[in-house]
Amino acid sequence: MTPRRVLLVFVGGAVGTAGRLALGLWIADAGGFPIATFVVNVVGALLIGVLAARMPQSTDLRVLLGTGVLGGFTTYSAFMTGTVELWSATPALAAVYAVGSLVLGLAAAALGLRLGRPRGTARPAEAAS
């Protein structure tokens, strides 16, 4: 890790964190359900999937956008805190939130990887037909 890359992560993280805060101020939680955190994490998973499929790991731009912006945008700690807070009031909703976040996050990341894959590269089964 070079000082340049540390700076890229720092700048990107500031942008991503500010974006998360703005979205959190724009989207109000509903009945204690942390909608903004849910949306941020699922959208972030989709975008990091696209980025991972499109950009080599070693580029400065991927460090800036992936580790920095999207790392600052998504939030595991708020996800866990939201789950614990929901659990104290409505355990069933907390379970739905936790499982839904994980399942939709995984699906979004997989979709992002698929969408980000360069077009025109046929899979072996498709090339044979």
- pLDDT tens for residues 36-64? 999 999 999 999 999 999 998 889 999 99
Mean pLDDT, the chain, as a whole number?
92
In a domain, 43, yes or no: yes
| Tally of structural domains, the chain | 1
In a domain, 126, yes or no: no
In a domain, 125, yes or no: no
Residue type for 18, please? A
Which residues form the domain of 41? 3-117
In a domain, 122, yes or no: no
Cα–Cα distance list, 71 to 14, 28, 40, 83, 93 (Å): 10, 22, 11, 20, 26
In a domain, 103, yes or no: yes
Contacts of 84 (CB under 8 A, 6+ apart): 94
Cα–Cα distance list, 54 to 112, 117, 118, 129 (Å): 10, 6, 7, 27
Whole-number pLDDT of residue 128: 47
Q: Where residue 129 falls among pLDDT bands split at 50, 70, 90?
A: very low
In a domain, 123, yes or no: no
In a domain, 7, yes or no: yes
Give pTM, 2 decimals. Answer: 0.87
Whole-number pLDDT of residue 123: 53
Q: Where residue 31 falls among pLDDT bands split at 50, 70, 90?
A: confident
In a domain, 124, yes or no: no
Written as six digits, the tokens of 18 are 């500010």
